[in-house]
Amino acid sequence: MKKSGKEILLRVVILIVGLTIAHLGVTLFLLANLGTDPFNVLIQGLHRLIGNPQITHGTIHICICSLIILILLFVDRSYIGIGTIICMFCGGPIIDFFTLLLGPLFAGEISLVIRIAVNILGCVILAFGMTIVIKSEAGTGPNDLVAVVLSDKLKKPFGIVRVIVDLLFTGIGYALGGTVGIGTIICAFFVGPVANFFFPPVEKTVKTLTAKFNATAQNESK
């Protein structure tokens, strides 16, 4: 069934809520300072391989994300939505906001145990937010789409596919010169299975919200 303009707007709002939650998790992950996420290990490795100071980490990130989108345009463009573009360009500013807000809490010496706990908490929050983004059906970030598309096409559980994809990102990035930390390993093995856990309740909630919204819109139009 074709979605109305109002429903699409609702789904974009749901996506933005999920994106904000997910990037709160990313911020906690980064502030724990135990290593970057698997996708950025790949970007870091490519950046060091290229070795051109005029080409920044961010530039390579955008290029790889654009390449993923380009491939999907030929493979299955139904996965690309307005949310894909929102995820590409709004993630950075959201992380900057939360870093400014939470950064002072991590300014002093913090024990390894607390940093690991913050890292794990960040992964759980990231996974929760990511499931909201995916189930909004308004599009999702290019790096997340890799696991989503492979999971759908191979008909395998998202959690397992996400772990494999993250390990591939990590392995290739490390081979190219990227830095891997304990936080990277935690993220690689943790985010996919936790997201798998959150998918059913999140999907049910999004369906309930959209159904109530559509019913209200129909009543108002009568």
Residue 174's pLDDT is what?
94
Phi/psi at 38 (5° precision): -55, -40
- Annotate 155-174 with DSSP letters as a single string: T--HHHHHHHHHHHHHHHHH
Residue 61's pLDDT is what?
82
Distance CA 71, CA 37 (A): 23
Secondary structure (3-state) at 1: coil
Cα 1 to its chain centre, rounded Å, is 27
Two tokens at 124?
């759980």
Two tokens at 86?
């929102």
Two tokens at 181?
């930390």
- Annotate 80-140 with DSSP letters as a single string: --HHHHHHHHHHHHHHHHHHHHHGGGGSS---HHHHHHHHHHHHHHHHHHHHHHHHTTS--
Cα 132 to its chain centre, rounded Å, is 10
Domain coordinates in residue numbering, the chain: 5-208
This model's pTM is above 0.75:
yes
- Write the CA distances from 61 to 15, 66, 79, integer angstroms: 21, 9, 20
- Write the CA distances from 123 to 29, 75, 186, 192, 193, integer angstroms: 7, 30, 8, 10, 11
pLDDT tens string, the chain, 222 residues long: the values are: 566 778 889 999 999 999 999 999 988 988 898 988 898 899 889 988 988 877 877 788 888 888 999 998 888 888 888 889 898 888 878 888 998 999 898 888 889 999 999 999 999 999 999 999 999 999 888 889 999 999 999 999 999 999 999 999 999 999 999 889 999 999 999 999 999 999 999 999 999 999 888 887 777 666
Distance CA 178, CA 142 (A): 20
HSE (side-chain half, CA atoms, 13 Å) at 184? 22
- Write the CA distances from 15 to 86, 136, 138, 145, 190, integer angstroms: 9, 5, 7, 14, 22
